[in-house]
């Protein structure tokens, strides 16, 4: 417990642990992997699903090597095919000839994750196979499916509720009983992060391009909204709501490939594209959920796993050398939470400004080159900063004469859990962070400077 009053809604312990995972893996896997479709219509023969070299340990090896902390598997996508022998459906791996109908991907997946990465599950409410879809009975089927999965294979760290909703065989659109879905989850696993368009655990970021807003609040107004058909506009999900009533941080889901499922003619994004996504997601107060789909063998192919290792290496290269090392910070502070705390790597130590517009100064032993600024607000006490700018002490031309003074090198709006700003290279021994607009006195737990051009 902190001796500082939190401001507004704050993350639960689970939401904080979730946000600190930073990058997780999404695995879209099912009949579409074999048919080439993205949205199977549910008529696919069960025998189509035949991952003859399935190895979920290999997925975990790849995720670990890539620095990912969790994996979410599509146990049931819109085609309704269940990757476990479900009692709630007749369209499952038990009806396929794979492993003579005795296979269980969800079991292999959760066994492989145990003790290594956290396991999460995607179960699509939209079901294009189930005969009851489009009627009230289907809501009970879906509840029973949740019950079955979470009691047999849990605990899962995250339950992913896709908002997609189509028509059933009777031509009727399903009315999902969202309150009952969420209530059932709270009963089955109160610690699970519940993803939906509007949370409550985390929200959809409003696009599938790998981009949170430059302004990105962890807070959202969810009163009167429901996932699927009555959610805030996508742009609002991208930015969140300043002063929003609930803590519902953004999850940035995007695929390493053009499609969500593996297709033979598609290839992974380049390291440059992945870095861009990283800066635009983790670097904008979001969690990156990067989809890496297993192939028809039931493994992550070499091309994708190599790309992920290169992506990891690039992040390690850039972020391993904080040039503030050996420096000092100062600024007016509240009760022992002094400015120097922003320079250490301990998560729970922070600078608590004494006033809403206090400036934070950083001095380094040498004039260092840097082109990336990392800022972190201590979100357990709420998200407070609405806009700021950063000045560096450096030579500048004033009234036709060279002198040394403060030059603004970056401007930003929100910070939140983490904000990464890329700027043209600066060489300076001093900088200051000026908070232009805040909802309450800033609380900052980390500032670091990096040089992306360093070898
Ligand atoms: C969407 C789905 O329709 C896509 O197939 C994919 O699963 C994506 C993550 O969510 O709503």
Which has the closest alpha carbon to 146: 209, 70, 76? 76
Q: Is 152 exposed, middle or buried (0-12, 13-18, 19+ CB in 10 A)?
A: middle
**Bond into 255 cis (ω within 30):** no
Q: Supply the pLDDT for residue 170.
A: 77
Considering the domain delimited by 328-450, tell me its CATH architecture: Sandwich (2.60)
Q: Whose CA is nearest to atom 6 of ligand 1?
A: 260
Q: Supply the pLDDT for residue 2.
A: 87
CA of 309 to the centre of ligand 1 (A): 25
CA of 333 to the centre of ligand 1 (A): 46
Q: Where along the chain do its domains lie?
A: 13-319, 328-450
CA of 162 to the centre of ligand 1 (A): 7
CA dist list (Å): 433 to 54, 298, 340, 376: 51, 49, 14, 12
Q: Which string of DSSP letters, residue by residue, matches 284-321?
A: BTEEEEEE----TTSS--HHHHHHHHHHHHHHHHHHT-
CA of 392 to the centre of ligand 1 (A): 44
Q: Supply the pLDDT for residue 169.
A: 75
Q: Supply the pLDDT for residue 229.
A: 86
CATH number of the 13-319 domain: 3.20.20.80
Could you identify the atom of ligand 1 that is nearest to the CA of residue 77? Answer: 7
Work out the angle between the directed axes of helices 136-153 and 105-113 (0-180°, nearest 10). 40
Could you identify the atom of ligand 1 that is nearest to the CA of residue 38? Answer: 5
Q: What are phi and psi of 444, to 5 degrees?
A: -115, 130
What pLDDT tens digit does each residue of the chain (455 aa) get? 789 999 999 999 999 999 999 999 999 999 999 999 999 999 999 999 999 999 999 999 999 999 999 999 999 999 999 999 999 999 999 999 999 999 999 999 999 999 999 999 999 999 999 999 999 999 999 999 999 999 999 999 999 999 888 877 778 789 999 999 999 999 999 999 999 999 999 999 999 999 999 999 999 999 999 998 899 999 999 999 999 999 999 999 999 999 999 999 999 999 999 999 999 999 999 999 999 999 999 999 999 999 999 999 999 999 999 999 999 999 999 999 999 999 999 999 999 999 998 999 999 999 989 999 999 999 999 999 999 999 999 998 888 999 999 999 999 999 999 999 999 999 999 999 999 999 999 999 999 999 999 87
Pocket of ligand 1 (CB under 6 A): 38, 162, 164, 253, 260
CA distance 8 to 303: 45
Could you identify the atom of ligand 1 that is nearest to the CA of residue 163? Answer: 11
Q: Supply the pLDDT for residue 167.
A: 79
CA of 394 to the centre of ligand 1 (A): 49
Ligand 1 site-directed mutation target among 208, 256, 261, most atoms within 8 Å of CB: 208
Helix, strand counts (H, E) of the chain: 9, 17
Name residue, tokens 């409003």: 206
Sequence length of the chain is 455
CA distance 206 to 11: 20
């Amino acid at each position: 417990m902190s001796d500082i009053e939190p401001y507004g809604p704050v993350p639960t312990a689970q939401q904080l642990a979730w946000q600190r995972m930073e990058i997780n893996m999404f695995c879209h896997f099912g009949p579409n992997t074999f048919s080439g479709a993205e949205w199977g219509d549910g008529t696919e023969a069960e025998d189509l699903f035949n991952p003859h070299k399935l190895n979920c340990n290999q997925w975990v090896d790849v995720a670990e090597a890539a620095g990912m902390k969790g994996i979410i598997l599509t146990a049931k996508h819109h085609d309704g095919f269940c990757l476990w022998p479900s009692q709630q459906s007749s369209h499952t791996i038990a009806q396929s000839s794979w492993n003579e109908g005795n296979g269980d991907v969800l079991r292999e997946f959760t066994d492989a994750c145990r003790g290594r990465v956290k396991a999460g599950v995607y179960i699509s409410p939209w079901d294009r196979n189930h005969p009851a879809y489009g009627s009230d009975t289907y809501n009970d089927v879906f509840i029973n499916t949740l019950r079955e999965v979470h009691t047999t294979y849990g605990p899962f760290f995250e339950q992913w509720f896709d908002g997609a909703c189509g028509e059933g065989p009777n031509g009727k659109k399903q009315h999902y009983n969202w309150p009952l879905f969420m209530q059932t989850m709270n009963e089955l696993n109160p610690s699970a992060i519940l993803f939906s368009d509007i949370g409550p655990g985390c929200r959809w970021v409003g696009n599938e391009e790998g981009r949170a807003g430059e302004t990105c609040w962890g807070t959202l107004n969810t009163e009167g909204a429901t996932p699927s058909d009555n959610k805030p506009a996508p742009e609002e999900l991208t930015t969140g709501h300043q002063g929003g009533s609930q803590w519902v941080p953004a999850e940035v889901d995007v695929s390493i490939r053009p499609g969500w499922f593996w297709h033979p003619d598609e290839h992974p994004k380049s390291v440059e594209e992945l870095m861009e996504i990283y800066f635009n997601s983790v670097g904008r107060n979001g969690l990156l959920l990067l989809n890496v789909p297993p192939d028809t063998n039931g493994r992550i192919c070499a091309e994708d796993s190599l790309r992920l290792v290169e992506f990891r290496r690039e992040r390690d290269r850039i972020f391993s050398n904080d040039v503030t090392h050996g420096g000092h910070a100062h600024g007016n502070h509240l009760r022992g939470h002094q400015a120097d705390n922003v320079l250490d790597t301990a998560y729970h130590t922070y600078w608590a400004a004494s006033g809403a517009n206090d400036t934070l100064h950083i001095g380094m032993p040498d004039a260092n080159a840097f082109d990336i600024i990392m800022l972190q607000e201590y979100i357990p006490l709420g998200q407070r900063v609405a806009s700021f700018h950063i000045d560096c002490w450096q030579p500048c031309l004033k009234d036709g004469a060279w002198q040394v003074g403060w030059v603004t090198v970056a401007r930003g709006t929100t910070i939140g859990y983490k904000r990464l700003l890329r700027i043209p290279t600066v060489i300076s021994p001093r900088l200051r962070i000026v908070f232009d607009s805040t909802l309450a006195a800033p609380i900052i737990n980390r500032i670091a400077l990096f040089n992306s051009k360093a070898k």
